Structure formats: C-alpha cells, structure tokens
Amino acid sequence: MTLRRLSADETARLGDETYERDIKPTLGKDQHGRCVAIDVDSGCWAIADKVLEAADELRAQRPDATDVWLLRAGYRGLHSFGGGERWRRCSE
C-alpha cells in the first residue's frame, strides 16, 4: 500500500485554509504565539507551547497522519531567521 502525499505547496495551502477557517476563530488571545500542528487530510489539530509537543500530541490523535502543517498562532511563520537591527547586508 502506498501513501498519498501532497506537495509542500498543497500542504501549506490546505494547512493555512484550515487554520484560518476552523482554528483561528476558536483561539483566545492567551493562545497567541503557541505552536499549532494540523493534519491537513482530516482537519485534526493540536496546540502546545513547543513545536515538538504539538506534533507529538497530533501524532497521538492521528498516528497515520502523513501531511502535517506547523505554524505559530498569530504569526506568519513558525520560526524567524535573523532580522531587526542585527541583520546587515554583506556589502555593509
């Protein structure tokens, strides 16, 4: 038996849609910044303070999940890489 896997773009699209439609409206301000793991096939999700905790909680609910989208509630990305005043172009 082969598992159906979505492309990364399709997983991202479905994960963002599920978050905006089903999850975000249920979250309170106290959930801002927490990590969300979403099984895009079933719509099941878990939330925790750390990404691995959210992923482990989702895996406990849906051990067969193959396409999982991770995000941080209230942010555009899960993690950031540099930025602010510390970030300088190489030519400077």
Model confidence, pTM? 0.80
The whole-number pLDDT of residue 53 equals 96
* Domain-embedded: residue 23: yes
* Domain-embedded: residue 53: yes
Q: Which domain holds residue 27?
A: 8-77
The closest of 59, 35, 39 to 47, measured between CA atoms, is 35
The whole-number pLDDT of residue 87 equals 46
* Domain-embedded: residue 69: yes
- What is the C-alpha end-to-end distance of the chain, expressed in Å? 55
Count structural domains, the chain.
Answer: 1
Q: Summarize pLDDT for 30-79 with one digit per residue, the tens.
A: 999 999 999 999 999 999 999 999 999 999 999 999 999 999 998 877 76
* Domain-embedded: residue 71: yes
* Domain-embedded: residue 70: yes
* Domain-embedded: residue 88: no
Task: Say if CB 11 and CB 38 are below 8 A apart.
Answer: no
* Domain-embedded: residue 37: yes
Q: Rounded to whole angstroms, how far apart are CA atoms 8 and 16?
A: 12
Q: Percentages helix, strand, coil for the chain, rounded to the nearest 5? A: 40, 15, 45
Task: Say if CB 55 and CB 37 are below 8 A apart.
Answer: yes
Residue 81 has pLDDT above 70, yes or no: no
